[in-house]
Structure 1
């Protein structure tokens, strides 16, 4: 039976801008429009570091019922079931460990130690997904959703870049 090792994490993005320093001519102060509004989208990223495959979902919240549905969709997408075993490495967020979480057949959850994001390959996806939204102003969550969806599509087609960012030397390298 084939076994694949994947990693998972979620990332909160919203109408509160992500600001970064930028170069500007001496004496010129760069500006970035912003209006802090606390409305959020959540980007869910499943990554297989050995190959650079990614599966993305964008939603407007986080909870156990939604996470159960995402696990079912992910399992169907990658073919997890009685003939294929998928180990999913993730953190111990409350909705990941809830008693009423429904884990599909063929999917096994393995939890990282607390406070250890540096060993989570999926954490390395977020600088890549943030790139087109840094120093940008979005009027609505729908505008942000469109930009994120396009970025996720382009990253899904660039498995070499995903692998370069997420494949740690100690992570299983077999395909």
Structure 2
């Protein structure tokens, strides 16, 4: 039996797309109102734009429908590396999402989309202010052992 409490029946969504360099605090994120191939293409374009000249990024991602390279425009400076099906434990960014939800975003009632956007941005910036936190959340040995400096 659930304990009695305030229930909010409204529903507003916001999606935080992020790329984290494993074992470092280097990251890039973009908040978008939808999650689909078009939104992923927008994220990839913005991510590629912020890469230093001569840098090529490999993004490890799950096999969500909006991650399918056939439906995306993938910049030449990015390679998508899909994980095996049903293997979220291999994806370092999953630990980042869990940390954000547990630490900053759970058990909250927000008024509208703008409030959701503000809460997510505040949570992301607070995470970035925790020096070393992304390093520990994303330091998967299978990725950091083979990382090229």
Partner of 1:140: 112
Whole-Å separation in 2 of the counterparts to 1:41 and 1:112:
24
Out of 127, 133, 138, the position equivalent to 1:166 is 138
1:126 matched to 2:82: no
Residue correspondence of structure 1 range 27-42 to structure 2 within 5 A: 33-42=6-15
The alignment yields a C-alpha RMSD, in angstroms, of 1.9
Out of 52, 57, 68, the position equivalent to 1:97 is 68
Q: Radius of gyration: which is bigger? A: 1
Query: Deviations for 1:98-130, whole angstroms, at most 9, x for unmatched residues?
Result: 524101121111110000001110100112222
TM-score of the two chains, using structure 1 as the length reference? 0.74
Provide structure 1 residue ranges, at least 5 long, that are not aligned to the other structure: 1-28
Cα shift at 1:48 = 0.8
Partner of 1:88: 59
Query: Deviations for 1:40-72, whole angstroms, at most 9, x for unmatched residues?
Result: 111112111121212111111012122111101
Provide structure 2 residue ranges, at least 5 long, that are not aligned to the other structure: none
TM-score of the two chains, using structure 2 as the length reference? 0.86
Structure with a larger share of its residues in strand: 1
1:114 matched to 2:85: yes
Q: How many residues align?
A: 144
Residues 33/53 of structure 1: CA separation in 2 closer, same or farther (3 Å cut) = farther
Partner of 1:68: 41
Cα shift at 1:159 = 4.3
Whole-Å separation in 2 of the counterparts to 1:90 and 1:166:
13
